[in-house]
Structure 1
Amino acid sequence: MTHQDILKACGLTSAELSDGTLAVRSPIDGAEIARVHETSADDMQSVIARSVAAFKAWRDVPAPRRGELVRLLGEELRAAKTELGALVTLEAGKITSEGLGEVQEMIDICDFAVGLSRQLYGLTIASERPGHKMTETWHPMGPCGVISAFNFPVAVWSWNAALALVCGDPVIWKPSEKTPLTAIATHKIMMRAIERFGADAPEGLCQLVIGGAAVGEALVSSRDVPIISATGSTRMGHIVGPKVMARFGRPILELGGNNAMIVAPSADLDMAVRAIVFSAVGTAGQRCTSLRRLIVHRSIKDDLVARLAKAYSSLKIGDPREAGVLIGPLVDKGALDAMQKALSNAKVEGGKVHGGEVVTSGVPAGAYAAPALVEMPTQSATVKTETFAPILYVLTYDELDEAIALQNDVPQGLSSCIFTLNIREAETFLSASGSDCGIANVNIGPSGAEIGGAFGGEKETGGGRESGSDAWKGYMRRQTSTINYSSKLPLAQGVKFDI
């Protein structure tokens, strides 16, 4: 399909795609495909006011009924999976299977949230006082602002929105300025679900705002938006987190990864090579869970690097819509320049670079690069700085404690993994003295988190979690109640007075 066919299939109209102030370019060839209209910062007060009004109605809708809306969203996403996946490819540059896989994640979190709508459990707590009972109840908090990044332009919204909606919270979504088209298409899908759901969904329940820093600032600073879920760099998190906490709001931050894999002498190297390649070059290294540091036992390092170099040389780079292509473009020229700068810095620090060159032959006119393997003598400043590109730094170790120390000695802390067939090494890695990341895997790469487990947890900023497990508690407030069902009121010992 042409890009016009994809946009039309997603229901995007010429009025939505033209005469706006925000230019949208496809990473595939760098061509401008739309000019969309931005939300004025002056309009944000009314957007937030609509969300506050919606909250007052939505919080009183029974949670299982709220789950029905999310069930309908899942149905609409299933019906639109092919078109929305193609739009993710067009706008974010993902290969076709990854674009479709992202939409599947949206469907999966809807399924999870539908069940969750009947499981927002509290506790009954034993009271120390005779004739009393204590209970714990979870209540909706209010509007939830979702600020998402370009690399997962639709899945991150769904992780937040599905949970927030069943928890009783309206949603205001600010997507990346690099991927507004997928957001507009997804919002239309949401509106179709709301139309089918009926009058129980108040006006302003789900809103989309498009714009730059001023629009984001309005969400982050508003006391009427108690929850801000932001996905992006640690730099962004350092800005957003303190601002939200300064007004006693709740930040949910999923930030940088700089994720590492430890490869032990006992590892199944065939399995490890497949996991390394998928984790390091998938989405052109532009996942928050991409593998960026490989910490290999000295005894197997040369063999593993040789295997990886051979595997890297066989990878097809090009238009992500073409069959057989495994590496698509970087999001823009700025990302390509950042990759080349990081490789230059690594060389200065003693690194030996394999690959990483800019690719111009056989690709459209976008920002393409070969994946890079960089053997490093130490974990330098460049290695500790996350670069959103297909760069994999290789370090060596002799003892497991040394490897774990290298793994933890970076400011980012999203995901991690170890490849070993030694149960002691695996359990040590998963213990309190092991990986300090929010995700720790054994014999599987750092990417590919699935619905069901809470996603991530950024150590540097004390960030929150999205998606599965008990992440729903981040979208609600806890209330503990004591009920006196006796005929007596307990008083402090020795206190008496007449009534």
Structure 2
Amino acid sequence: MLRLSTHFRGPAFPLTCRALSAMASSLLAEQPTFAWLKDLGLGVENNGVYNGKWGGRGEVSLEMGKIAVEGLGEVQEYIDICDYAVGLSRMFGGPMLPSERAGHALVEMWNPLGLVGIITAFNFPVAVSGWNTAIALVCGNCCLWKGAPTTPLTSVAVTRILSEVFQSNKLPGAICSLTCGGADIGAAMARDERLDLLSFTGSTAVGKQVAVTVKERFGEESLVIIYYGNNAIIAMDDADLDMLVPSVLFAAVGTAGQRCTSTRRLMLHESIHDTVVERLVKAYKQVRIGDPLEPNTLCGPLHTKQATETYKTAVEQAQQQGGKIAYGGKVIDRPGNYVEPTIITEMQHNAPMVLTETFVPILYVLKFKNFEEAISWNNEAKQGLSSSLFTKDLGRIFKWLGPKGSDCGIVNVNIPTSGAEIGGAFGGEKHTGGGRESGSDAWKQYMHRSTCTINYTKELPLAQGIKFE
């Protein structure tokens, strides 16, 4: 909790020394000269700022803007990954391998890295930190987390809970530390050699800078990096439309299109194209847009005013490139960063805007002739995070999952591109970064591996039968 004192630097005012002396005994927020502080939402006491005691609270929906049920789901995901990590702590380890030399054994040992740096984005201010923190901790590491600069209260709230858990178990709270700040803090973390691993989740542009810095001092193995994705759903002529339409609605409109796994491209077989578009438009018309804390809201605001401008520019450019707005396309005239979830048809599959990942609720609908064409369109995006195929044909399903199918890190069948479970490794390929977080064997990135050869005899045979006498 922060109390605003005369040390607070606001706009320049022609204050005399006498005036400053008179004000020194009071708080700035109480003085008429600094009434502008109220316009910033600042008062005498400001919850959420850490001064040695945890006085604030963070709410995902208030800071990020996602609807309450998604915010609760994100918190549940953190709980789930903690449960998963506890079980994992008794399972991971290396194998004992046979040796070519008699009386020898090969053992693969996994040991903690040390200090893991975690940089997360605004769109999942709770869950993504949990993916990293829970796994890193059970692997024996300490963590330093930098959340997004636009969701600091959520970061503080999560760290408060962690500190209480550590204290109740007689462990130092510094095991999992928090730093708040912007790009300068992230750059410092990337440069700091005391961080044995840096996990970054965010935009491609920033991630590339982080990757270059980390690789210069460590190498690729010391970086877990996940960028966003230009994700696609392919619907074949035999797709179950009763499953397809709500799946697309959730994946394209959920979180106002601000998930890294949000569906941005919908590829429809020409035989079902018009029917699906008609049903989607009807579904979009029923989406309730508004206050994310209201229980009936399905789509909240975009996170920032900049995102709203990105939305407007994308709609304009898509139309210039031949796109036709089937639904939406407008900024909503109300306080906040509200926009209409948008469906755009008649675009070419390789149009610049179709191949540009835009972090807003815009869905480009494409019409294809055959399965091979759809796969090639899916794979032509520079990013390779998530993808999904809707079909009942087993032959198509297994081709989709195989080497001639999707080139993404997440390859789904008959479900949306978003909504990944914590038990699987989360990450992508190509410009998405190639790192993995959460489940499966992603834990290996938080430890270092040693191959140990143990000689339990009195002989000293050399490998490959070499004689050195």
TM-score range, shorter chain: 0.7 to 0.9
> 2:17 maps to what in 1?
none
Matched to 1:238, the amino acid is K
Q: CA-to-partner distance for each residue in 1:360-414, whole Å, 9 max, x for gaps?
A: 45x5x10101111011133211111111100000111111111000001011111
Matched, 1:151 2:123: yes
- What SS does the aligned partner of 2:271 have? helix
Matches within 5 A, 1:346-495: 346-361=318-333, 363=334, 365-375=335-345, 376-460=347-431, 462-491=433-462, 495=467
2:328 aligned with 1:338: no
Is 1:109 aligned to residue 72 of structure 2?
no
User: Which amino acid counterpart does residue 447 of structure 1 have in structure 2?
Assistant: S
SS of equivalent to 2:384: coil
Q: Residues 28-67 of structure 1, C-alpha deviation per residue, up to 9 Å, x if partnerless?
A: xxx955679999xxxxxxxxxxxxxxxxxxxxxxxxxxxx
1:127-138 mapped onto 2 (5 Å cutoff): 127-138=99-110
Q: Secondary structure in 2 aligned to 1:113?
A: helix
Q: CA RMSD in A?
A: 2.4
- Say whether residues 1:241 and 2:211 are aligned partners: yes
Task: Indicate the residue corresponding to 1:224 in structure 2.
Answer: 194
Q: Distance in 1 between matches of 2:64 and 2:417?
A: 21
Q: 1:324, 1:163 → 2: CA distance? A: 35
Give the match for residue 7 of structure 1: none
Please say which of residues 384-393 and 206-215 is displaced more in the overlay. 206-215
Partner of 2:260: 288
Cα pair 1:38 1:210 within 8 Å, conserved: no
> For each residue in 1:194-221, what CA deviation from the matched residue of structure 2 results, as whole angstroms up to 9, or x when unmatched?
11110xx346211111111111111101
The whole-number CA distance in structure 1 between the counterparts of 2:49 and 2:435 is: 29
1:7-406 to 2 correspondences below 5 Å: 13-15=1-3, 87-198=59-170, 201-202=171-172, 204-249=174-219, 250-361=222-333, 363=334, 365-375=335-345, 376-406=347-377
Q: Do the aligned partners of 1:253 and 1:457 also contact (CA within 8 Å) in 2?
A: no
**CA contact under 8 A between 2:166 and 2:173: conserved in structure 1?**
no
- Does structure 2 conserve the Cα–Cα contact (< 8 Å) formed by 1:149 and 1:176? yes
Structure 2 Cα separation of the partners of residues 298 and 197 of structure 1: 60
- What is the CA-CA distance between 1:357 and the residue it aligns to? 3.5
Contact 1:268 1:419 in 2 (8 A): yes
Larger radius of gyration: 2
In the alignment, is the contact (CA less than 8 A) between 2:229 and 2:432 conserved in 1? no
CA–CA separation in structure 1 for the residues paired with 2:182 and 2:414: 40
| Counterpart-to-counterpart distance in 2, 1:465 and 1:32 | 39
Task: Indicate if the aligned counterparts of 1:138 and 1:476 stay in contact, CA closer than 8 A.
Answer: yes
Sequence identity (%): 49
Structure 1 residues 36 and 435 mapped into 2: Cα distance closer, same or farther (>3 Å)? farther
Look up the SS of the partner of 2:383 in the other structure. Answer: coil
- Structure 2 unpaired stretches of 5+: 11-38, 51-55
Structure 1 portions without partners, runs of 5+: 1-12, 23-30, 40-82
State the 1:241 CA deviation.
Answer: 1.2
Counterpart amino acid of 2:184?
A
Q: TM-score w.r.t. structure 2 length?
A: 0.87
User: CA–CA distance in 2 between the matches of 1:457 and 1:432?
Assistant: 15
1:356 Cα deviation after fit: 3.2
CA distance in 2 between partners of 1:33 and 1:220 (Å): 33
Counterpart Cα distance in 2 of 1:312 and 1:339: 17
Is the Cα–Cα contact under 8 Å of residues 262 and 417 in structure 1 kept in the other structure? yes
- Whole-Å Cα distance in 1 between the matches of residues 450 and 153 of structure 2? 40
Kindly indicate whether the alpha-carbon contact (under 8 Å) linking 2:48 and 2:156 is maintained by their aligned counterparts in 1.
no
Aligned residues of 2:423 and 2:440 also touching (Cα < 8 A): yes
Who is 1:63 aligned against?
none
CA distance in 2, matches of 1:348, 1:36: 47
> Does the residue aligned with 1:270 lie in a helix, a strand or coil?
helix
Preserved contact between residue 191 and residue 213 of structure 2 (Cα < 8 Å): yes
Q: Deviations over 1:430-450 (max 9, x none)?
A: 111111111000000010001
In the aligned structure 2, how far is the partner of 1:144 from the partner of 1:20?
34
Q: CA deviation at 1:222?
A: 1.1
Taking structure 1 as reference, are residues 350 and 169 closer, same or farther at Cα in structure 2, changes over 3 Å only? same
The offset of 1:142, in angstroms, is 1.4
Query: Bigger CA drift: 236-245 or 274-283?
Result: 236-245
Question: TM-score, normalising length from structure 1?
Answer: 0.82
For these two proteins, the number of residue pairs brought into alignment is 429
Q: Which amino acid aligns with 1:406?
A: W
CA displacement at 1:242 relative to structure 2 = 1.9
2:232, 2:263 within 8 Å by CA — same for their partners in 1? yes
Structure 2: how far apart are the matches of 1:302 and 1:490?
Answer: 73
Letter paired with 2:114: G
Structure 1 residues 178 and 203 mapped into 2: Cα distance closer, same or farther (>3 Å)?
A: closer
Equivalent position SS for 1:252:
strand
Q: What SS does the corresponding residue of 1:168 show, helix, strand or coil?
A: coil
1:63-113 Cα deviation digits (max 9, x unpaired): xxxxxxxxxxxxxxxxxxxx97x7001100111100100000000000000
